[in-house]
Each structure stands twice: as C-alpha cells, then as structure tokens.
A and B are shown apart, each in its own frame.
Chain A
C-alpha cells in the first residue's frame, strides 16, 4: 500500500512554503498600504467610476480633469483591451450631484462618453467600516459553526474534538493561502478585496470543510471495521480510497472555474481566481494537512516535538 501518511512532515513543509510568501506579502502590504490585503471601496468607502469613451483617451488627461475638481490622488487605470477605451477611476467619496458636472468636463476635454457602458459606485465611509467589521464576524462565525457541526457529526468517533480542530486548522491554512495570493496580487497588480472576495473566502470555507468531511467520513467508517490495524494504516487506507473522488471532484470544479476565468466577464475574474486557488488548496489540505495533523495528534507527536525542542535548548 502506498504510504502517504509516512511523509507527513514533508507536507507540513510544503504548506509552510505555500503560506510564508503570502504572510511576507501581507506584512509588506500592511507596512505600505496599512492593511494586509488592499481593500476596495466596499470596505474603505469612496468612489469607483468606470468610464467608456468613444475615442482614445490618456491617463494624464483623465487625471487632470479629476485634479481640477480637487481630488488629490485619483487612481486611473485602463480596463480591458486598449481599443475598449474603458478606464477605471478610484476616488474619495463624491457627492452624486457632482457626477454630472465631472462627466460633462470629461466629455468636453477628452471626448464623448458611452453612458450605456459606464458604471459608478460610491460607498460612504460609515457603511464601509460596517461591512469590514461584519465581514470579519461572518468568517469567524462560519468557522466556529462548521467546526461545531463536525464535532457533533463525528461524536461517535473517538476524539471527535480533534477532527473538528484539525478540519478548522486545515481550513485556516486554505484561507491563509488564498489571502496570501490576494495580498501578492495586490502588491503586483493592485488587486483589491471587495464584498465579492468575502464571498469567495466563505465559499472556500464551505468547500474546504465539505472536502474534509468526505475524507474524515471514510476514516469514521473504517475505524470500527479494522480494529487490528494501527491508526496510521487505517487513515492511510481511507485516503487512498477517497483520492479518486477528490481528484474527480476537483477536476469538475476546475472545469467550471477555468471556463469562467477564460470566457466570463472581467468583473468576476478576480473573484473566481481567488476561489480557484482556495479550492485547489482545500483539496490538497484535506489529504495532506488535515489528516496528517490528526495522525500527529493521535500519536502524541506534537508533545514529543516540543519536548525534543526543549531538550535541545537545554543542551545548548
């Protein structure tokens, strides 16, 4: 039988390699922008205008118009292909009544605007703060409830508590990888986190836990059947039994997400990219983080590890 669990410390190392760059990016981002990931106006408040001109425009020309309305630092970015003539401008919170005036200036100084292909969002700072706060609350509550659910459904398995905690630890691992990815993309390509991103994270949580439950469920089934075998062997057998299903499911989810990435609208691509990263990580972590963690815990290796560490310190 192929031994997956035997190499468990290697997987922990791989996870570290996945998470650490993201953590560094988050620290860098916190120092540079004030937050671990760059936040969109949904959380900070402000305005986001998407303007489609009927003729080519330049970044400077657009910025100049906004500067003339006393906006200190408008962020102007081109969207899509150059021939789309579509630009995105991020500003502080603006009064809606001013928008008509600004649009008239833009039309006058640059060229006519295609209103039907333009959009505007403004978010007041108060709402932004609230959204950010309740986003954090939503993620925490979701994790706790799902963890509690696992402990309840696995109550007949010895040490059900460990299953819940391992699932949550692996899920946190998945969230960290997804967050790190967004943080890196934020630094490199100014990706921002919006309300949709929160949806992606919560979906990853749901998918991640679903995946872990499937793997744990097999362990739950095999435990009473194979009393003679060691825990490690039972776990390893369970993984090998469900690995086909994990790969097939992951592949199907990837078909749909990659199709959206390639052919879908530009406005949900970042959302799907985060979800894709999160889901691939979730499938990985079910087998290579959650289960090894269970084994390590079951065999008391965590305690041993710290004891060994202390002994080494004492020796030094």
Chain B
C-alpha cells in the first residue's frame, strides 16, 4: 500500500514536471535528430479565429438541390481551393470537407477578408491569346492584357511581331521558337466567358486519333473571333488557363461560324479535366459562399485578455474557497487542481498523439475548461463531505479517508459519464455544421472531465494518503485542520 502510494506520487510528480515543461510559454518544441531519426514537433498554443482574428468561410456546391455531384469533384475543388489559399500566404490555413457538398476554409490572421474570399471563389480564367508568330510551349506562364495581372511597366512590350514567318511551320508543336521572356504581354482575344457552355464536347480526330475539344462561341463573340482569325491565318493562337499555356495551335483558316477545336495532344483524362474547367471554370464544382465569419485581430486579443482575467479571478475564488472550507484537505485539493489545470493546458498545446496534435483554443473552449474545473472541484467536494460525515459518525481518520474516496466514487463516475454523453452529442453537432465553436466547447469540457477523474480522485487520494502517513498523528488531534 505504502510502496504503491510512493510510486503513484512519483508518477504524479513526473507528470506534473512534464506538463510544466510543455506549458512553458518559451517551450522550444521537440527536435530529435539521432542518426536516422528525425523528429520535429513545435509545441505552442493554437488560437482559434475568435481569439487571433481571421476569416472562416463555408463554401457550398452551387448546384440545384438534389443534383448529384460527380465522384471526386468536391475533393478536386478542395485541392484547388487549398492551392489558392496557399497562394494567399496565410500561415496555417485550414481547408476541410464538411459533408458531401461543403468545404470549410479557415484563414487565421488574414488582413483583407474580402480579397481572400474573392480569390477563393474565383473561377479559372481561360484566355485565347494572340501569340503572333511565337510558339508558346504548354506550361509557360504568360502575361496578358486581360484582367488585373498586368504590371504597369513603363516600357510596354508590344505584341510579338507578326511579320516574321520563317519559323512558323504548319504543324502545331514542331520547331518552336524560343519561349519569350516573361515580361512580354500578350493581347487576349477571347476569354472563357465567350464560350457557350452548352457547346463543349470532346472529339477524336479520325486521321490521327488525337483528342480535341470542340467549342462554340456565343453569338456576341463569334464575329470578333471571325475577324481576328481571318487576319491572323498561320499565326499562333495560344490558349491559357489562369495565365498558364495549355496549348498553342496555329490558325489554319479563318473561323467564321463561331466554332472551333482546341488540340493539345491530350490524354482522355486531360481532355475531360479541361472540358470541366471550361464548363465551370477551374473549379469542378461551382462554389457559393454559404457563411462567413471575420473577426478583427484586436477584437480577438481583447477577448483573450478578458477571458484570462476572468478565469484567474474565478479560479482564485475557487482555490480560496476550498482552502477555507476544507482546510488541509482543501490545500491538497488545490494542489491537485493546479496539476489539473497544467495537464489541461499541456494537452491543448501538445494534443494526445496519435488522436490529435493540439486543441485550438476558442472563447467557448475557455468557457468549457472553466466549467470542467468546476466539475473537478465538485469531485473533491463530494469526497471531502463524505470524509467529514464518516468522521462525525465516529470513524477513525484513516477509515474516514478511505470511505470518503470509495463511497463518493459512484457519484463522481456516474455524473461524469452523463456529462461525457452530452459532450459527445455536442461534439458531433459541432463537427457536422459550421458551428465549430460548439465543438471547441465540447472538446475542452470532455478533456477536462476526463482529466478531473484522474486528478480529483487518484491524485488527491495519493496526496491525502501520503500526508496521512506523514502527519497522521498530528492531524488526529487537530480536527479543525480537517474542516470538521
């Protein structure tokens, strides 16, 4: 019994020291480099959007209710949104699927939320670019005079010259002239908007078996295209998606009927993906902004400050109450409560690998933690009240202590299980919808309640037993120290 108690006490101390190390604000993280082992782990507090400011957007597939979304389309959209978000240069962006039709994007600390939303939502831009006699190899990123991407250079490079014909061969990708320097700005002839979305199809050339995409222009764009093509026969007409060349065919003859084909030695998959991009823009599924939440950074920091103050005051009151009302055992409970708070904070920073790697702290999350603290204290109150009762009933101190813990246990266990049941429902509710704050609350509460069963019962019991072994004789005469 005694040895086991010493062992437990050592365990508690080691755990507390580890928790203090993790909780240290200056924690350097874990960086282990031993021969082939490379392990790096940063340990820090992850603040939610409501605390550090930022933007949360819930995007939903903008399709009629009931229309099936193609398999994989939402995943593809998620990847594309992710790429765009990365381009915004936000640290730790979060892009997650939510259900079958939704994507949730969280951008902490983003400065211009409106611009960020516009970037995420932007559909892929398809351009027909007048490349003149320059062959632009697929994959080249070019500048065009369409949209806001043209840098206002003092020296506007004109359209590549059209007079030079020597390098132009009638077949498409042969003998390309060198790819032009990036500062060349090409004029855009048409964009994806000029295509009529119903007129797109994939075809296969009978002669070579190559795939092509047939397109049809809108009635407004057709004359413009006819005019352009008739003036630029044998020149290159590059097709670019988001400023990146995907094919660069030669204009073989004037296109007057507003119909044409895009050839590019596509595989079937590429042709399909391009078709989808042409139809919907680069996103395979059009997305609608369903909900947004933006919080200014100052507002968030203000909340953190206030929550910390409120928490400190509330907890001090609890510590004081336990000390005054339960005296010596109260002091031990306070000690256990301090360990409880440390363990919680350590888990917020370090997570519980492999379950999760950190807990994002939000305002409701802080509230959940404070509430679980109340429940941790409740466990100690139940135990100590029971102890007092047993002492009053005339039991010896040692027997009263053991009875207090064992008799109070069923109440503590059952009441905490009921809290965990409600938390699980809250957590499920929180993860299904954009209500991530509900999830944060449930998570910290569930972590807190679970830890409290350990600290308020096991840790406190270890402390009390140890103290009884050490000072038992002196305590027996001083019942006031036990709050009786």
Contacts and interface: CB of A to CB of B under 8 A. Distances in A.
A119 B56 CA distance: 11
Contacts of B53: 116
Nearest to B321: A252
Interface stretch (B190-198, B260-268, B375-383): B375-383
Contact of A245 (B288, B298, B371, B385): B385
Contact of A119 (B294, B410, B419): B294
Contact of B310 (A146, A218, A264): A264
B296 A118 contact: yes
Contact of A122 (B291, B364, B367, B429): B291
Interface stretch (B216-224, B270-278, B430-438): B430-438
Contact of B296 (A95, A116, A195, A268): A116
B425 A202 contact: yes
A33 to B, nearest CB: 22
B83 interface: no
B68 interface: no
Contacts of B382: 214, 245, 249
Interface string B91-119: 00000000000000000000001100110
Nearest to B302: A265
Contacts of A97: 114, 117-118
Given A209-B415, A213-B418, A120 B294 contact: yes
A91 B113 CA distance: 19
Interface range on chain A (Cβ under 8 Å from partner): 35 or more
B172 interface: no
Interface stretch (B38-46, B154-162, B312-320, B470-478): B312-320
B299 interface: yes
B402 interface: no
Interface in A99-144: 99-100, 114-124, 126-127, 130-131, 134-135, 138, 141-142
Interface string A65-93: 00000000000000000000000000000
Contacts of B127: none
Given A126-B290, A214-B415, A100 B438 contact: no
Contact of B435 (A42, A99, A149, A251): A42
A253 B421 CA distance: 20
A61 interface: no
Nearest to B371: A203
Nearest to B370: A256
Contacts of A131: 433-435
Nearest to A115: B296
B357 interface: no
A169 to B, nearest CB: 16
B12 interface: no
A265 B363 contact: yes
A252 B318 contact: yes
B335 interface: no
B381 A259 contact: no
A209 B363 CA distance: 25
Given A241-B389, A252-B321, A205 B295 contact: no
B325 A122 contact: no
Contacts of A249: 374, 377-378, 381-382
Contacts of A99: 114
Contacts of A115: 296
Given A263-B313, A268-B363, A119 B296 contact: yes
A264 B307 contact: yes
Interface in B411-430: 411, 414-419, 421-423, 425-426, 428-429
Main secondary structure of the interface of B (DSSP, over half): helix
Interface string B431-457: 011110110011001000000000000
A248 B385 contact: yes
A42 B290 CA distance: 12
B204 interface: no
B311 interface: yes
A96 B289 contact: yes
A255 B381 contact: no
B109 to A, nearest CB: 11
Given A115-B296, A202-B422, A252 B377 contact: yes
B302 A210 contact: no
A50 interface: yes
B169 interface: no
Interface string B302-343: 110011011101110110011001000000000000000000
A198 interface: yes
A127 B434 contact: yes
B298 to A, nearest CB: 4
Contact of B367 (A138, A149, A271): A271
A193 to B, nearest CB: 13
Contact of B414 (A141, A202, A213, A260): A213
Interface in B181-217: none
A311 interface: no
B432 to A, nearest CB: 7
Contact of A206 (B290, B367, B418): B418
B58 A260 contact: no
A255 B318 contact: yes
Given A214-B382, A242-B385, 17 more contacts: A52-B296, A117-B296, A117-B299, A117-B302, A119-B296, A119-B299, A122-B293, A124-B291, A142-B421, A142-B426, A199-B437, A202-B426, A248-B321, A249-B377, A259-B311, A260-B307, A264-B306
What 7 pairs between A and B have smallest CB-CB spacing? A259-B314, A210-B415, A256-B314, A255-B317, A206-B422, A265-B303, A116-B298
Interface of B: 50, 53, 58, 60, 113-114, 117-118, 288-299, 302-303, 306-307, 309-311, 313-315, 317-318, 321-322, 325, 363-364, 367, 370-371, 373-375, 377-378, 381-382, 385, 389, 407, 410-411, 414-419, 421-423, 425-426, 428-429, 432-435, 437-438, 441-442, 445
Interface of A: 42, 50, 52, 95-97, 99-100, 114-124, 126-127, 130-131, 134-135, 138, 141-142, 145-146, 149-150, 153, 195-196, 198-199, 202-203, 205-207, 209-211, 213-214, 217-218, 221, 241-242, 244-245, 248-249, 251-253, 255-260, 262-265, 267-268, 271-272, 275
7 contacts: A96-B292, A122-B291, A241-B389, A245-B381, A248-B381, A253-B378, A256-B371
